[in-house]
Amino acid sequence: MGISGRRALINGASAGMGKAAASLLAAEGVNLVLSARGAERLAAAALEIRGRHGVRVDTIVADHSTDEGRLRILAACPDPDIFVATCSPPPLTPDHGGISMQQWQESLATGLLSPLQFIEAVLPAMQRRRWGRIVNIATIAAKYPLELRLLSGAPRAALVNYTVAVARRVAADNVTLNNVLPGMFHTAAVHDQFSEAARRNGTSYDVEVHKFVDLHQIPARRFGDPRDVGALVTWLCSEFAGYITGQSIAVDGAATRSTF
Report pLDDT for 239.
97
Query: CATH class for domain 7-184+226-251?
Result: alpha beta
- What is the percent of the chain with per-residue pLDDT over 90, rounded to a whole number? 92
Report pLDDT for 91.
83
Name the pLDDT band for 260 (thresholds 50, 70, 90): confident
What mean pLDDT is predicted for residues 202-222? Answer: 96
Q: What residues pair up with 85 in beta bridges, in sequence order?
A: 136
pLDDT tens digits, one per residue of 238-257: 999 999 999 999 999 999 98
CB count within 10 Å of CB 102 equals 8
pLDDT tens digits, one per residue of 4-25: 999 999 999 999 999 999 999 9
Report pLDDT for 89.
82
User: What does the DSSP assignment read for the chain?
Assistant: ---TT-EEEEES-SSHHHHHHHHHHHHTT-EEEEEES-HHHHHHHHHHHHHHH---EEEEE--TTSHHHHHHHHHH-SS-SEEEE--PPPPP-S-GGG--HHHHHHHHIIIIIHHHHHHHHHHHHHHHHT-EEEEEE--GGGTS--GGGHHHHHHHHHHHHHHHHHHHHHGGGTEEEEEEEE-SB--HHHHHHHHHHHHHHT--HHHHHHHHHHHTT-TTSSPBPHHHHHHHHHHHTSGGGTT--S-EEEESTT-S----
User: Any idea where the domains of the chain sit in the sequence?
Assistant: 7-184+226-251, 186-223
Calpha distance 231→87 (Å, rounded): 17
pLDDT tens digits, one per residue of 80-112: 999 999 987 888 888 999 999 999 999 999 999
Residues in the chain: 260
Q: Say if strands 248-251 and 175-182 run parallel, antiparallel, or are unpaired.
A: parallel
Q: What residues pair up with 178 in beta bridges, in sequence order?
A: 135
Report pLDDT for 88.
78
Residues 6+ apart with CB under 8 A from 147: 93, 94, 95, 96
Report pLDDT for 31.
98
Calpha distance 157→164 (Å, rounded): 11
pLDDT tens digits, one per residue of 129-171: 999 999 999 999 999 998 989 999 999 999 999 999 999 999 9
Determine if the pTM surpasses 0.85: yes
